[in-house]
Every structure is written in structure tokens, then in C-alpha cells.
């Protein structure tokens, strides 16, 4: 069996399932995708529930998400998870649930007889992860979202507003991308103080220091040699610091924060929480969280 499958493998069941003892019926799609830990936790949940299905990684190039969905439907897939860089593109190829519409991205697909339906479990999954890791409800915190221009950043910023946080600072390389999004966020939560900044804004450090929770939602930190998404001047020991990246487990941002004595967590907890919510979209009534946590605790 392959560690990573491609669009070409979706041409037939024979190609997809050769050498496997169970049919591939769920997947995570992304580009690249070899690093994804999703199969470990989802396969554990499927096996524990006695479901005859395999969960695979699919490397799909940008611009081909719709074709991938069509092929998965034809092969009888139950659904899939959607990760970077496809969370926005996926919206054009499914019926988007209103909650996912508000969050601005799709990360979970369910294939039904008459429709391809899109959901977003990133926002709720993030809120659950923060409370689990830091024993503080997200709505009680003032939050900085660094890298707010991407799908994950948009979902997390929106979740903050849906919960009515007192203050939200959204930071991106360019402000142009944030403009329309900030307008929508203000409509969602008029009581939230929302500040949009570029990374080179001289007010960045002051605004970060006035908040409780710092979140990196960008891909900065994935590659060896990446810098910290924020300079040390933006951090203080009282901060809670969350990086949505989970591989490597300690990113440059988390290393800097650890050095200052901050409480930190990486994206593994969000991955598990959003994954459990996705699993429940495919199998209503399932309770996979404990099994998924146990499976991920065994990661090498």
C-alpha cells in the first residue's frame, strides 16, 4: 500500500485498493500531504468502531479539487478532510453549510447520494483545543491571529468573533487581503475590538502584549530554517501561545515562547478535536475522541 495516493489512483478501485485488506473510503486531501497525521487517528477510530474502511492521504494539485471530488464520489467514498492549500477551493465544489460559509473555508466533505456537502470543523475544533490545553475558554481571552489571510486563520478569527472575544488582533503580510474579512468579522461581533495589522507595523508588539493568546495560523515554521512568525518583542511570559503547526512539534515561535516561560501548545490538539468533529459528520452518534487521542499519543 502507498503512503500517499494521487488523482491517478482514483481511476479505479483496482488501482486504489491493491494490496489492502479494506477499501479506501475516506481521505485527507492536500498538497503536499505526506506529513499528515490524520490517517493514524481516523483509522484507529474506524477500526475501533468496526467500520470496514481505510483512510488514506491524497496529494491533489491546486485547481483539481473538483475533479478529485468527482472521482471520489464515483468510487463510493464517504467523505474526506481538506487541508492546505485547498480549504478555499473546496468551497466552489460543494454545498457549503452556513457555519462553514461564516468561517470562510471548508475542511470536511461528506458525499451523499444527491450532493457533496462541505463543513468546517477547524473553528470549533480550535476552541475545544484551547480549552483542553490551557483550561481557559476561548471566549475569555484576547487573541492575536498571526497569518490571518489563509483559510485556517480566517476560520479561527471567525470562531473568535462567533464566541464574542473582547479583543481580536489579526495580522497578515499584506493588509489588502484582510480588509473585506475584517468588515465581516465586525458584523459578526460588533462588541469585539478588532485590529488589523501588517507584520511590519510598528504597533505590532504593543498590540500583542495587550492580548492573552497568540496563535500562528500560517505555514511559517513548517520548514527547517523558518524564522519565528513573531519577534521576541511581541511575547511575554504571561502569554498562552498556540501554533497550529504540529510537525515539527516545536516550531520557532514555540521555541521562543518556551524560552520566555509561556504556556504553549501545538496544532496536534486542534487536529484531534477537529478530526473527531469531522468523524461525527460522517458517522453521526460516534464518539471517537478518546480513541483518536490515544492513537496520537502513540506517535513516534
Residues with catalytic function: 87
Contacts with 219 (C-beta within 8 Å, 6 or more apart), sequence order: 84, 147, 150, 245
The burial class, CB within 10 Å (0-12 / 13-18 / 19+), for 84 is middle
Pairing relationship of beta strands 116-119 and 108-111 according to DSSP bridges: antiparallel
Given a contact cutoff of 8 angstroms between Cβ atoms, the answer to whether 155 and 227 are in contact is no
> Distance (Å, rounded) from C-alpha 9 to C-alpha 178?
38
> Distance (Å, rounded) from C-alpha 216 to C-alpha 245?
8
> Distance (Å, rounded) from C-alpha 26 to C-alpha 28?
7
Return the half-sphere exposure (C-beta side, CA atoms, 13 A cut-off) of residue 259.
Answer: 12
Amino acid at each position: 500500500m502507498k503512503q500517499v495516493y494521487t488523482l491517478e489512483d482514483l481511476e479505479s478501485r483496482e488501482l486504489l485498493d491493491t494490496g489492502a485488506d479494506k477499501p479506501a473510503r475516506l481521505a485527507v486531501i492536500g498538497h503536499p500531504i505526506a506529513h499528515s497525521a490524520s490517517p493514524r487517528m481516523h483509522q484507529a477510530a474506524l477500526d475501533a468502531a468496526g467500520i470496514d474502511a481505510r483512510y488514506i492521504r491524497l496529494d491533489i494539485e491546486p485547481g483539481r479539487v473538483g475533479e478529485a471530488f468527482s472521482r471520489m464520489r464515483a468510487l463510493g467514498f464517504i467523505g474526506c478532510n481538506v487541508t492546505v492549500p485547498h480549504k478555499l477551493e473546496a468551497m466552489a465544489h460543494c454545498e457549503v453549510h452556513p457555519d462553514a460559509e461564516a468561517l470562510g473555508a471548508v475542511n470536511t466533505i461528506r458525499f451523499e447520494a444527491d450532493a457533496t456537502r462541505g463543513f468546517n470543523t477547524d473553528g470549533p475544533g480550535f476552541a475545544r483545543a484551547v480549552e483542553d490545553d490551557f483550561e481557559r475558554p476561548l471566549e475569555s481571552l484576547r487573541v492575536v491571529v498571526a497569518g490571518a489571510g489563509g483559510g485556517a486563520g480566517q476560520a479561527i478569527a471567525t470562531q473568535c468573533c462567533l464566541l464574542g472575544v473582547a479583543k481580536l488582533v489579526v495580522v497578515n503580510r499584506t493588509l489588502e487581503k484582510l480588509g473585506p474579512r475584517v468588515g465581516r468579522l465586525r458584523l459578526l461581533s460588533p462588541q469585539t475590538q478588532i485590529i488589523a495589522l501588517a507584520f511590519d507595523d510598528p504597533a505590532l508588539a504593543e498590540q500583542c502584549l495587550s492580548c492573552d493568546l497568540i496563535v500562528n495560523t500560517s505555514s511559517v515554521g513548517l520548514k527547517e530554517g523558518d524564522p519565528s512568525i513573531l519577534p521576541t518583542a511581541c511575547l511575554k511570559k504571561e502569554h498562552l501561545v498556540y501554533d497550529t503547526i504540529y510537525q515539527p512539534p516545536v516550531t520557532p515561535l514555540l521555541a521562543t515562547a518556551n524560552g520566555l516561560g509561556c504556556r504553549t501548545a501545538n496544532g496536534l490538539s486542534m487536529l484531534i478535536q477537529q478530526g473527531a468533529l469531522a468523524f461525527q459528520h460522517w458517522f453521526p452518534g460516534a464518539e471517537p475522541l478518546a480513541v483518536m487521542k490515544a492513537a496520537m499519543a502513540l506517535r513516534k
